[in-house]
Amino acid sequence: MSTNVFEKVVTSSERVATRPEGGRRQKRRRGFSGWHFFLLPVAVLFLIPFIQMLLASLSPARELVTFPPPFIPSHLTLDGYIKLFTDTDVLLWFVNTVIVSAISILSNIVLCSLAGYGFARLKFAGRTFGFFAIVATIMIPTQLLMIPTYILFSKLGLLNGLGAAIVPWLATAFGIFLMRQFFLSLPAEIEEAGAIDGCNKLQIFFRIVLPLAKPALATLAIFTLLSSWNDLVWPLIAINNDQAFTLQLGIANFQSTRHTEWSLLMAGNLVATLPLILFFVFAQRQFIATMTFSGIKG
């Protein structure tokens, strides 16, 4: 793939992300646009699954298995949620997922920014080779690594615990690539000023460079949050103990164990999805920048 496209996408991602939301800034009235005829139905269609999820989670359980099913529940009830929190370990899974995501985010921020800075700014033997090798790992499909990693983790006694879910997310090639790109775009003069003041490399990094890297770190944090929070395949393989389940694994297991309890299932779905939706709504610009960037992820 030509690096050309990468650069284009990377450089314009910020612009897409920071574009002022149409119309809000400029108060002047505009004529009606024909695009509404296309966009409104599409937007409604995209929201229907979420609306259905919310309605079903608040429906009386019996109504969800009547035929024909009502479009709108006769009354709203919290039974699904009550059952979810009393009958299942969803709270524990939620905490587990928060732990996995928090450790992954912290570790990625520290390790990937250190490495990204090293590859961008420090000159040392093996730098080009090291960076090339790390970027090359993006080409290896995760499915290829699943089996040997599973065997390796089982030999190390890492299976069936939260550690199994965390270790593969401690550092990512995408994170290093992202941080390196960012540090390359920083003017070197800032660091030279620090060097003249007698800072060593680590001090320059922590006191001068890292505080400037907040937007890139936010992108990295969102990427890590999205992928670790939503990961299903790896926990599915590595965790067999329901005390160490992540939310995704827990709710995916509902499919076989609680097949017809739709209100409970949808309540679980909402609990698993709502945190990220809220994050998305509040940090939309950063999220969109991350999505654009993740075109280069592994």
Partner 1 sequence: MSDTMSTGTAPGATSVSTGAAQRRSRRRRGRRATLTGWGFVGPAAIIILGLSFFPAGWAFLLSLQEWDGFSDAEFVGTGNYTDLISDSDFWNAVWNTFGYTLLFVPASVLLGLFLAVALNRKIRFIGFYRTAIFVPFVASTAATGILSTYLFSPQYGVVNNVLRVLGLPQQGWLADPHQAMLVIAIMSLWGQAAFTTVIYLAALQDVPSELIEAARIDGANRWQTFWRIVWPHLSPVTVFVAIWQTITAIQLFDLVYTTTRGGPLGATKTIVYFLYEKAFHSLQFGYGSAAAYALFALTLIITIGVVIYSRRRNLEAF
Residue 117 lies near partner 1 (rule: CB under 8 A)? yes
Min. distance of Cβ 274 from partner 1 in angstroms?
A: 10
Binding positions for partner 1, 55-84, rule CB under 8 A: 56, 64-69, 71
Question: What distance separates the 2 farthest-apart alpha carbons in the chain?
Answer: 77
- What angle (nearest 5°) sits at the alpha carbon of residue 14, between those of residues 11 and 18? 150
Residue 23 lies near partner 1 (rule: CB under 8 A)? yes
SS (H, E, C) 176-203: HHHHHHHHHHCCCHHHHHHHHCCCCHHH
> Binding residue for partner 1 (CB under 8 A) from 128, 255, 257, 282?
255
CA trace torsion 101, 103, 109, 112 (10° rounding): -100
Rounded CA-CA distance 89/113 in Å is 36
Binding positions for partner 1, 169-228, rule CB under 8 A: 170-173, 175-176, 195, 198-201, 205, 226
Report which DSSP code applies to 69: P
> Binding residue for partner 1 (CB under 8 A) from 98, 102, 210, 252?
252
Residue 91 lies near partner 1 (rule: CB under 8 A)? no
Min. distance of Cβ 279 from partner 1 in angstroms?
A: 7
Min. distance of Cβ 5 from partner 1 in angstroms?
A: 5
| Burial (Cβ within 10 Å: 0-12, 13-18, ≥19) of residue 133 | exposed
Size of the site for partner 1 (CB under 8 A): 119
Using the minimum distance from each CB to partner 1, give the nearer residue, 172 or 181.
172
- What angle (nearest 5°) sits at the alpha carbon of residue 294, between those of residues 288 and 298? 165
Min. distance of Cβ 222 from partner 1 in angstroms?
A: 10
Binding positions for partner 1, 119-178, rule CB under 8 A: 119, 122-127, 130, 133-134, 137, 139-152, 154, 167-168, 170-173, 175-176
CB 274 within 8 A of CB 210: no
Min. distance of Cβ 86 from partner 1 in angstroms?
A: 20
